[in-house]
Amino acid sequence: MKLLRIPPMYKCIGLIDADLLDKGSRHPNLALLKIAGFLFDNHIPFELILDYNSDFHRYERIYLSKVFTFTKLPDFLEDIQDPYLVDKIVKGGTGFYANAKGGTYRYERETDMIKLENDSFLITLLNHRGGHNRMGINMARQMPYYHLYDAFVDQQVALGFKREKYKDYYNYSIGFLTRGCVRHCPFCINKYENIIHPYSKIDWFLDQEKDVHGHDKRKYIYLWDDNFLASDKTIWKPLLEQLIATKKPFQFRQGLDERMLAESPDGEEMAELLSKARYHGDFIFAFDNWKDRDIIVKALKIWKHYNPKKSTKFYLFCGFKQTQDNKEKFYNDIWELFQRIKILMQYGCVGYVMRHEDYHQAPIANIYIQIARWCNQQAFYKKMSFWEFCYRNQSYWEEHSGILNRPKQKSYKEFEEDINIGYYDSVKMCLPLVSIKNILAMFPSKKDELLEMFNYKMEKLISPSLWEHQ
Q: Give the three-class secondary structure for 267.
A: helix
Q: Give the three-class secondary structure for 7.
A: coil
**323-344 pLDDT tens trace:** 999 999 999 999 999 999 999 9
Q: pLDDT over 70 for what percent of the chain? A: 97
Q: What is the overall mean pLDDT for the chain?
A: 93
Pairing type for strands 283-286 and 250-252 reads unpaired
Last residue of a domain, one of 109, 139, 169: 139
* pLDDT tier, 84 (very low <50, low <70, confident <90, very high otherwise): confident
In a domain, 286, yes or no: no
In a domain, 104, yes or no: yes
Number of domains in the chain: 2
Name the E strands within 187-318. 197-198, 220-223, 250-252, 283-286, 312-318
Q: Which DSSP string corresponds to 28-80?
A: --HHHHHHHHHHHHTT--EEE---TTS-GGGEEEEEEE---TTPPPPHHHHT-
Pairing type for strands 178-179 and 12-17 reads unpaired
Higher pLDDT, 5 or 326: 326
How many Å apart are CA 275 and CA 145, to the nearest integer? 32
Pairing type for strands 197-198 and 178-179 reads antiparallel
* pLDDT tier, 7 (very low <50, low <70, confident <90, very high otherwise): very low
> So what's the pLDDT on residue 446?
98
Last residue of a domain, one of 108, 139, 170: 139
Tell me how crowded residue 311 is: count the other CB atoms within 10 A of its CB: 14
The average pLDDT across 57-84 equals: 88
The average pLDDT across 99-110 equals: 91
The average pLDDT across 39-48 equals: 97
The average pLDDT across 374-386 equals: 97
Please check the confidence at residue 8 and state whether its pLDDT lies above 80.
no
> So what's the pLDDT on residue 87?
83
> Would you give the end-to-end CA distance of the chain in angstroms?
54
In a domain, 275, yes or no: no
By C-alpha distance, which of 110, 130, 121, 46 is closest to 88? 121
How many Å apart are CA 396 and CA 319, to the nearest integer? 29
> So what's the pLDDT on residue 208?
94
Yes or no: say if 325 and 442 are a contact pair by the CB < 8 Å rule: no
* pLDDT tier, 85 (very low <50, low <70, confident <90, very high otherwise): confident
The pTM of the full predicted model, rounded to 2 decimals, is: 0.87
In a domain, 328, yes or no: yes
How many Å apart are CA 66 and CA 61, to the nearest integer? 17
Last residue of a domain, one of 139, 154, 176: 139
> So what's the pLDDT on residue 93?
96
In a domain, 239, yes or no: no
**213-253 pLDDT tens trace:** 999 999 999 999 999 999 999 999 999 999 999 999 999 99
Please check the confidence at residue 191 and state whether its pLDDT lies above 90.
no
> So what's the pLDDT on residue 187?
80
* pLDDT tier, 370 (very low <50, low <70, confident <90, very high otherwise): very high
Bridge partner list, 92: 65
SS (H, E, C) 105-161: HHHHHHHHHHCHHHCCCHHHCECCCCCCCCECCCCCCCCCCCCCCHHHHHHHHHCCC
How many Å apart are CA 159 and CA 334, to the nearest integer? 39
In a domain, 13, yes or no: yes
The average pLDDT across 164-191 equals: 92
In a domain, 304, yes or no: yes
Please check the confidence at residue 27 and state whether its pLDDT lies above 80.
yes
The average pLDDT across 356-383 equals: 97
How many Å apart are CA 224 and CA 30, to the nearest integer? 9
In a domain, 258, yes or no: no
Please check the confidence at residue 469 and state whether its pLDDT lies above 70.
no
User: Which range marks the domain in which residue 381 is found?
Assistant: 296-310+319-470
> So what's the pLDDT on residue 83?
76
How many Å apart are CA 360 and CA 368, to the nearest integer? 9
The average pLDDT across 259-287 equals: 95
The average pLDDT across 193-207 equals: 94
> So what's the pLDDT on residue 470?
44
Single-letter residue type at 72: K
Single-letter residue type at 158: A
Single-letter residue type at 165: K
Please check the confidence at residue 38 and state whether its pLDDT lies above 60.
yes
